[in-house]
Chains A and B, each alone.
Chain A
Amino acid sequence: MHAAAMAAGRRAPTVPLGLVGFLGTTIMLFTTFAASYLVRRTSADWRPVDLPLLAWANLALLAGASVTLEWACRSAARETRGKWLAATALFGLAFLGGQTLVLAQLRAAGIFAQTSPHASFFVVLSLVHGVHLVGGLGALVYGALRPAALRGCAVFWHTIGVIWLALLVFISVM
């Protein structure tokens, strides 16, 4: 990957610049949604929807994924690393399942994407964030094959975790 950098006598960085750029563009994406949210909420039809408690409980799963991935990064032995990575993947999958359950609960309460703009934003944000998480699961596989990439992998997971925490607080408070 860093043939040129190495030829130039430099060490390949642990968090590749490409990832930093990608996180920049990801943060811009969610910021755009947040800005749109602020504009849209000024309309007369804005009715806040109470999010199920499960939406908050799911945050614990994301935190669990971040912690286990951090341990995977720090374990030198291949086998322990594999175990922590598997734990991370399970936490991630559980989070996706939990998010689906949240949407199902809203649905059962008669709240759909088109019911209220507040609900629309929650559905859109859940989906877009979910897509990033699926990407993160793919990155875990890559990281399992290439331990050098694990640090970048962890930075990605921490970032999308923090993004979801921030979004959840944002759409509950605003």
Chain B
Amino acid sequence: MSDAHAAHAPQSFWSRYVFSQDHKIIGLQYLITAMVMALVAAGLAVLIRIQLAWPGSLGIMMTPETYIAIVTMHGSLMVFFVVSLALVSGFGNFLIPLHVGARDMAYPFLNMLSYWVIVPACLLMLISFFVPGGAAAAGWTSYPPLSALKEAVPGSDWGQTLWLLAMALFIVSFTMGGLNYLTTILNCRAPGMSMMRMPLSTWTFLISAVLGLLTFPALTAAAVMLLFDRHLGTSFFLPSGMVIGGKVLPHEGGTPLLFQHLFWFLGHPEVYVLVLPAMGIAFDVNSAMSRRAPFGYKVTVVSLLVAAVLSMIVWGHHMFTTGMNPYVGEYFSIMTVLITVPFAVIGVNLIASLFKGRIKFTTASLFGLGLISAIGLGGFGGLYLGTAASDLYFHETYFVVGHFHMMIGVVTFFGTFAGLYFWFPKMFGRLMNERLGRVHFWLTIVGTFATFLLMHFQGMGHLVRRTFESAYDFQKPVTGMHYAITFFSVMAVAGQFVFLYNFFRSIWRGEKAARNPWNAAGLEWTTESPAPHGNWRGPVPQVQRWAYEYGRNGHAEDFQLQAEPDRVGATEPAAH
């Protein structure tokens, strides 16, 4: 370890585990915070499902106003405080320095700050359930006028203000994280670690960071203007002629659609901020588990970049039903369907990477493989929604709910779990229990796939989303599925308790792991498990090759570590 780094190695409990500047501890802090928030968000999902299957069974606890608040908070927490925290902040922090051969993030203090800004954000979100009027109820998208007028719904008062403050803190934290990822990946790589030798997950974290830095400001600006509309009487988003309680409001001339444009300018790339790292993790995990290098590494990198660029110019496909000019709609349709090209390449590469592989079906690889199916199914739904003509029918229905849960729910969770089972030894020096892992996997895949596939069919029957009850006769043929969906979603949630038990038990009781239990080739497996402060005792390793040197026939071992000097007689791998 370099002397400079050893000098600030943490001494006390507080500096080691609480106000830590070590990227690995910060990554774990994010992961565990995400788990806590996931419990709340999943609990809200169960409440939604109970109400839909057995309307009225929750009594006064579930009024239409609380229902819409619960839907809002489930979405907001899951997107920003569970998936973003676990996948991007959690794994991003834990993996990037280990993957690029850095001792820590470029700005460790900023990194610590980013975590301690997210904690009050989480608390504000949780507290908002208990303020007058309850939590925000304008949807995770917070469209005005519902979000802009305090009188609109009970949650529009205090709840919405807290929601906006929490989101402001979230954006501050995410920006600090993004600056760290960008700088660490571009400036702090170990000698020999060229960009094209980096693991694909590191590429996806880099792309995520840049996307976040470029698109989150749109939401910041929208939130600032929304706060002005709410508290200072301006009319950025509020049109004239609105009447509440028999009184005409003084606002005039504002355009609620402007908010939608700003929101989705962030909202769409945010999906990619979350989904791309999940796919990157799948590439890493699957290649180690199938003893095959990812197929088409360079093409995958280019496809990830193309998908990221396209993701910034397609936001309008969330707004086809707003009465936009058909030519504008056509543009957004064409651009959206164009994303199929890089995504198909990535999907095919994920599958082709398995070809002729010797796949070991560990829990990590099960999740990594399940993720490929989820991308496929989610992607197919996306075709119908990306095309303006079919979206006009589907937009207000459960088809959309099923589709986006498949992508930013299932794909991201599967990526998170694949990563957790795979890198758990590097985090804690122990292995997670495989038998419990399998139980977790099967409950999760059956539960989630059944839940969200059935929602697609409900949407085809035009079951309208965001509604408290499905009261129309024409919806009758598909409302019966509510029982099955509730059953399967509870199954999926139950599976997560198996995971939580396994995770926390394995931290102390798990089987001790060696330095490289999966015989994986990445740089992180050259250090001990768990990795020490500064990541490597002694000098930072000299990187010799890319992170996927598998399937070396005729050698004692079928893989070669990224930093291991070439053995005698070894041949340079074919161009990758």
Contacts and interface: CB of A to CB of B under 8 A. Distances in A.
A36 B254 contact: no
A117 B221 contact: no
Contacts of B45: none
B234 A39 contact: no
A25 B217 CA distance: 6
A8 B191 contact: yes
A113 B214 contact: no
B540 interface: yes
Contacts of B218: 28, 32
B225 to A, nearest CB: 6
Interface in B186-236: 186-191, 209, 213-218, 220-222, 224-225, 228, 232-236
A36 B179 CA distance: 26
Contacts of B232: 113-114
A40 B236 contact: yes
Nearest to A41: B253
B141 interface: no
A44 B252 CA distance: 9
A162 B183 CA distance: 25
B106 A1 contact: yes
Interface size class for chain A?
35 or more
Given A8-B540, A113-B233, A40 B224 contact: no
Interface centre among A3, A6, A46 (most CB of B within 10 A): A3
A4 interface: yes
B182 A17 contact: yes
B258 interface: yes
Contact of B179 (A18, A29, A45): A18
A17 B187 contact: yes
Given A3-B103, A8-B189, A113-B228, A25 B236 contact: no
B540 A7 contact: yes
B254 A40 contact: yes
Contacts of A4: 97, 102-104, 106, 184, 188, 540
Interface in A133-168: none
Interface in B152-198: 175, 178-180, 182-184, 186-191
A170 interface: no
Interface in B228-257: 228, 232-236, 240, 250, 252-255
Contacts of A45: 235, 240, 252-253
Given A22-B175, A117-B235, A44 B187 contact: no
Contacts of A24: 213-214
Nearest to A22: B179
A7 B106 CA distance: 12
B505 interface: no
B183 A16 contact: yes
A161 to B, nearest CB: 19
Contact of B258 (A25, A26, A31, A36): A36
Given A4-B184, A16-B183, A29-B217, A36 B175 contact: no
Nearest to B265: A32
7 contacts: A2-B188, A3-B5, A7-B2, A8-B191, A18-B107, A36-B258, A113-B232
The 3 closest A-B pairs by CB, nearest first: A45-B253, A29-B217, A4-B188
